A = this chain, B = another copy of it.
Amino acid sequence: MRKFKVAGAQLGAIQKSDSREAVVARMVALMDQAHEKGCELIVFPELALTTFFPRWYLTDPKEIDQWYESEMPSAATLPLFEKAKEYQMAITFGYAEKTPDGHHFNTSIMTNKDGEIVLKYRKIHLPGHGEYAPKRAFQHLEKYYFEPGNLGFNVCANLGGVMGMAICNDRRWPETYRMMGLQGVELVTIGYNTPAYNAERRDEADGKRLFHSQLSIQAGAYQNSTWVVAVAKAGNEDGHELIGGSLIVDPNGFVVAQAKTQEDELITADVDLDESRFGKETVFNFAAHRRVEHYGLISSQTGVEVPEEVKKQLEQE
């Protein structure tokens, strides 16, 4: 407890035609590897059970429904929970959730070492767009397929520490880490599916995309003095490239493990949750240094508003 080995279980491509059972078998194989290495926590990516379907514009409700899970565990995913218990290994993975009352979320769950769900998170920062956009090089219809998460940025007790989750685009938003940091988070797991090209700026390819991903994750870790385990679905899904670069970052912001392939690949690191203490007690001692009286706009104003005075001056210039 508090000291353990963590695994980031990157998944390679999942094609549209791949079954849940086939994917779960790949995930179990990665759990086998992690168990051999003595890992007590394994982190799988966002939408781990299927292809990244928001790149496809679907209109038939039945066709849409097939991408969602209406229960968790489900028959297809039960082996993950059973294996977790057998191996005494906490797991976390993402999936598309359809609630009994018909709401749709981009969700992740985390279990304890007995395979019991101890935290659920629903993605708050949905990227992309809500309607079919013919001008884009490809679609990224998360705002069409999902509602923004309604559970907040919550944390749980797991493996003797405070853990939280975020999903994909959440990692670019400092509010994500800060909300959990204010609750004392010591380890954040993040799954992602990130296109290797910017649909609106084709010259922004792999290198830059990996840089932006890693920059945001390292800054979030450092500025909240927390471990972060960020895990990709990578590779070529039905002709669409996803970045890999799964990584484990320590509470000082340094990368301690990183995936080298675009395939199913396990990365591991020895985690000591107490390493998060130094930062939390010194440079990022929030109680000593934060000045909430000057942060009002962050939680009261959604979009950009250039102050009226400044606008007027710019018009006069």
- Chain A interfacial positions (CB closer than 8 Å to B): 1, 124-127, 148-149, 152-157, 160-162, 169, 172-175, 178-179, 181-184, 198, 200-201, 208, 211-212, 215-216, 218-219, 222-223, 252-254, 278, 280, 282-292, 294-307, 310, 313-314, 317
Contact = CB atoms under 8 A, between A and B. Distances in A.
7 contacts: A127-B289, A148-B291, A155-B310, A172-B284, A182-B305, A280-B304, A288-B303
Nearest to A159: B317
Protomer copies: 2
Given A157-B317, A184-B305, 18 more contacts: A124-B291, A126-B289, A161-B314, A172-B283, A173-B289, A173-B290, A175-B294, A178-B298, A179-B294, A181-B304, A183-B310, A212-B222, A216-B223, A218-B219, A285-B303, A287-B304, A292-B298, A292-B299
Nearest to A313: B157
A148 B295 CA distance: 14
B294 A152 contact: yes
Nearest to A217: B219
A127 B290 CA distance: 10
